[in-house]
């Protein structure tokens, strides 16, 4: 019996890969959510595409159970893992497993605001969160987004195209500070500004209260003393891998996730982890391509053919239609330079002193050149 | 010529363009794309693509 904890992209992709290869081992999926299959990346384009939450459901729990021959235990929270006994405790119930897979994802970090309306600071980290925001933003609304990372920018683009007024507040000096070189971040910022998004850089929100003058509106105070009156506050300041259950069970964990090797195996031989909750051979990936690589490899392993996840270069795409961005971050430090030529858009290469290409970032029309850039990156010489 | 969208990440496969990098010539109908072809952006299989209604 394989028990999978979590019914997000990671848990369900593993289930699909197992059945694709004809593996007949019994599988039970335990999920605190409703067990509907949906794609989290699609939550970032839902407003522009006018998607109701139900339209983002690919299959409900019943359909998943039938199509993939699994027992789906929805609205079920696991309380404790007993690694020695190889059992999972769910309340008073003791569920035995041969192999346990942790696909718990990551939780939105708390921005730590004070005030009487802190429960109105919403993150959009799952379909239920999306439904809540969508229900609330029917009329054109004023939205304050905390965080100018990938998710903050995608939501900003989505909400503004959806007809809302959007401002991003971030303590950083540019958008996507950990992924993009400054000129490229600036290009993306300009694209968002052209759609009407406003920015407050080097600022943090400190408090949020109900605005007495307006029904349901919020008053957010920033650390420079200024105030914003808005209808919604969306927090997109980052995700923390869900490590608590693994930690309580004595598995090796860190703030970067449940520590697993390239086989997705944890410090316990019968417990695996993949997706946003895992730190695989030292890296926590919060993207779909690495998740899929792990799902495919782990399915083979669980089916009797131990396989290490292969990670080719997996560029990160920022789904901001106002200025699409594609970045292949370097693994080691190098120097970012703008590369001239090509038509519109912006291209930047990250190179070593000897000129070898370590990574690249493309914006606007230049994202269409991804194939030639990937080839250059993968070539042995990698020079210009 | 039809367009197919990856339901997980939004990538579009346009039959008119094919995907030459993976050896899929322009004009290749979706049915003729190899079954083991995966979404170039996120890695999911053909079964997670849907037809984009005109």
List pLDDT tens digits, range A313-325.
899 999 999 999 9
Question: For residue A366, what pLDDT is reported?
Answer: 95
- In this complex, which of B21, B42, B45 lies closest to A288 when CB atoms are compared? B42
Task: Report pLDDT digits (tens) over A309-367.
Answer: 999 889 999 999 999 999 999 989 999 999 987 778 999 999 998 889 999 999 999 99
Task: Inspect the interface and report whether the beta carbons of A20 and B45 lie closer than 8 Å.
Answer: yes
Residues in B touching A39 (Cβ below 8 Å): 7-9
Residue A69 pLDDT > 50, yes or no?
Answer: yes
Task: Inspect the interface and report whether the beta carbons of B9 and A288 lie closer than 8 Å.
Answer: yes
Answer whether A127's CB lies under 8 Å from A299's CB: no
Tell me how many degrees the CA angle A100-A106-A108 measures, rounded to the nearest 5: 155
- In this complex, which of B7, B10, B44 lies closest to A292 when CB atoms are compared? B44
Task: Inspect the interface and report whether the beta carbons of A20 and B41 lie closer than 8 Å.
Answer: no
Q: Rounded to whole angstroms, how far apart are CA atoms A287 and B24?
A: 26
B7 in contact with A, Cβ within 8 Å: yes
Share of chain A above pLDDT 90, in %: 90
Q: Which residue has the tokens 């010529």?
A: B1
Residue A383 pLDDT > 50, yes or no?
Answer: no
- In this complex, which of B7, B41, B42 lies closest to A58 when CB atoms are compared? B7
Q: Rounded to whole angstroms, how far apart are CA atoms A60 and A34?
A: 8
Answer whether A309's CB lies under 8 Å from A280's CB: yes
Q: What is the dihedral sign for C-alpha B14, B19, B23, B25?
A: positive
Closest chain B C-alpha to A333 CA, distance in angstroms? 25
| B5, B6, B8, best to mutate vs chain A, most A CBs in 10 Å | B8
CB contacts < 8 A (A, B): 38
User: Quick count: other Cβ atoms within 10 Å of Cβ B45?
Assistant: 19
- In this complex, which of B9, B21, B45 lies closest to A41 when CB atoms are compared? B9
Task: Inspect the interface and report whether the beta carbons of A288 and B45 lie closer than 8 Å.
Answer: no
Residue A191 pLDDT > 50, yes or no?
Answer: yes
Residues in A touching B37 (Cβ below 8 Å): none
| B20, B22, B41, best to mutate vs chain A, most A CBs in 10 Å | B41
**Which region, left, alpha or beta, applies to residue A22 given φ > 0 means left and ψ of -120 to 50 means alpha?**
left
Backbone angles phi, psi at A132, to 5 degrees: -65, -45
Task: Give the ipTM of the model, two decimals please.
Answer: 0.84
Answer whether A146's CB lies under 8 Å from A205's CB: yes
Burial A28-53 (b: 16+ CB within 10 A, else e): bbbbebbbbbbbbbbbbbbbbeeeeb
Question: For residue A276, what pLDDT is reported?
Answer: 98
User: Please, which pLDDT band fits residue A384 given cuts at 50, 70 and 90?
Assistant: very low
- Report which secondary-structure segment, H or E, holds A218: strand A218-222
Q: Is A317 helix (H, G, I), strand (E, B) or coil?
A: strand
Tokens of A341: 């030529």
B10 in contact with A, Cβ within 8 Å: yes
Tokens of A377: 């990156």
Of the listed ranges A60-69, A208-217, A230-239, the one predicted with least confidence:
A208-217
Task: Inspect the interface and report whether the beta carbons of B44 and A288 lie closer than 8 Å.
Answer: yes
Q: Is A266 exposed, middle or buried (0-12, 13-18, 19+ CB in 10 A)?
A: buried
Q: Is A229 helix (H, G, I), strand (E, B) or coil?
A: strand
Q: Rounded to whole angstroms, how far apart are CA atoms A242 and A234?
A: 21
* pTM (whole model) above 0.90: yes
| A273-283 mean pLDDT | 97
Residue A371 pLDDT > 90, yes or no?
Answer: no
| A19, A37, A39, best to mutate vs chain B, most B CBs in 10 Å | A39
Task: Inspect the interface and report whether the beta carbons of A288 and B43 lie closer than 8 Å.
Answer: yes
Question: For residue B43, what pLDDT is reported?
Answer: 87
Q: Is A79 helix (H, G, I), strand (E, B) or coil?
A: coil
Backbone angles phi, psi at B36, to 5 degrees: -90, 10
Q: Is A237 exposed, middle or buried (0-12, 13-18, 19+ CB in 10 A)?
A: buried
E strands, A271-381, are 271-273, 278-280, 316-318, 325-328, 335-338, 346-351, 357-363
Closest chain A C-alpha to B4 CA, distance in angstroms? 15
The DSSP output letter for B53 is P
Burial A70-98 (b: 16+ CB within 10 A, else e): bebbbebebeebebeebbbeeeeeebebe
Closest chain A C-alpha to B8 CA, distance in angstroms? 5
Task: Report pLDDT digits (tens) over B4-44.
Answer: 999 888 899 999 999 998 899 999 999 999 998 999 888 88
Question: For residue B54, what pLDDT is reported?
Answer: 67
Question: Alpha carbon A84 to chain centroid distance?
Answer: 32
Query: Reading across the β-sheet that carries B12-14, which strands appear in turn?
Result: B12-14, B3-6, B49-51
**Chain A residue with minimal CA distance to B5?**
A42
Question: For residue A380, what pLDDT is reported?
Answer: 57
Residue A277 pLDDT > 70, yes or no?
Answer: yes
Question: For residue A232, what pLDDT is reported?
Answer: 97
Question: For residue A307, what pLDDT is reported?
Answer: 98
Task: Inspect the interface and report whether the beta carbons of B41 and A9 lie closer than 8 Å.
Answer: no
Q: Rounded to whole angstroms, how far apart are CA atoms A32 and A35?
A: 8
- In this complex, which of B8, B38, B45 lies closest to A41 when CB atoms are compared? B8
User: Please, which pLDDT band fits residue A30 given cuts at 50, 70 and 90?
Assistant: very high
Three-class SS of A87-109: EEEECCEEEECCEEEECCCEEEC
Answer whether B44's CB lies under 8 Å from B6's CB: yes
Task: Inspect the interface and report whether the beta carbons of B10 and A45 lie closer than 8 Å.
Answer: yes
Task: Inspect the interface and report whether the beta carbons of B41 and A39 lie closer than 8 Å.
Answer: no
């Amino acid at each position: 019996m394989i028990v999978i904890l979590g019914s997000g992209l990671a848990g369900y992709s593993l289930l699909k890969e197992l059945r694709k290869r004809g593996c007949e081992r019994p599988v039970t999926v335990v999920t605190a959510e409703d067990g509907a299959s949906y794609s989290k990346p699609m939550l970032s384009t839902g407003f522009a595409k006018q998607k109701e939450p139900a339209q983002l459901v690919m299959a409900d729990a019943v359909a998943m159970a039938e199509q993939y021959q699994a027992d789906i235990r929805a609205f079920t929270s696991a309380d404790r893992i007993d690694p020695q006994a190889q059992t999972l405790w769910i309340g008073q119930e003791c569920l035995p497993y041969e192999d346990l897979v942790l696909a718990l994802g990551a939780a939105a970090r708390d921005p730590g605001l004070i005030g009487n309306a802190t429960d109105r600071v919403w993150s959009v980290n799952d379909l239920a969160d999306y439904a809540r925001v969508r229900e609330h933003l029917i009329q054109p609304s004023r939205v304050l987004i905390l965080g100018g990372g990938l998710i903050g920018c995608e939501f900003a683009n989505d909400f503004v195209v959806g007809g809302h007024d959007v401002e991003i507040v971030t303590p950083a000096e540019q958008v996507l500070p950990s992924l993009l070189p400054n000129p490229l971040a600036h290009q993306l910022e300009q694209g968002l500004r052209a759609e009407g998004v406003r920015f407050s850089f080097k600022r943090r929100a400190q408090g949020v209260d109900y605005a007495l003058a307006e029904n349901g509106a919020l008053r957010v105070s920033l650390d420079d003393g200024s105030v914003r009156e808005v209808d919604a506050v969306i927090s997109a300041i980052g995700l923390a891998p869900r490590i608590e259950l693994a930690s309580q069970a004595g598995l090796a964990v860190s703030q970067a996730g449940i520590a697993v090797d390239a086989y997705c195996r944890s410090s316990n031989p019968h417990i695996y982890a993949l997706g946003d909750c895992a730190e695989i051979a030292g890296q926590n990936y919060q993207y779909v391509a690495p998740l899929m690589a792990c799902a495919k490899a782990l399915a083979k392993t669980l089916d009797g053919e131990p396989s290490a996840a292969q990670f080719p270069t997996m560029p990160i795409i920022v789904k901001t239609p106002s200025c699409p961005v594609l970045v292949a971050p370097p693994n080691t430090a190098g120097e970012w330079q703008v590369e001239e030529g090509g038509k519109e858009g912006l291209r930047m290469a990250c190179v070593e002193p000897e000129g070898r290409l370590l990574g690249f970032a493309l914006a606007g029309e230049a994202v269409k050149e991804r194939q030639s850039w990937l080839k250059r990156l993968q070539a042995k010489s990698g020079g210009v | 010529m039809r367009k197919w969208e990856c339901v997980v990440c939004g990538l579009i496969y346009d039959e008119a363009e094919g995907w030459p990098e993976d050896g899929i010539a322009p004009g290749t109908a979706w049915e003729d794309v190899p079954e083991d072809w995966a979404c170039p952006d996120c890695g999911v299989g053909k079964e997670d693509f849907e037809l984009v209604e005109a």
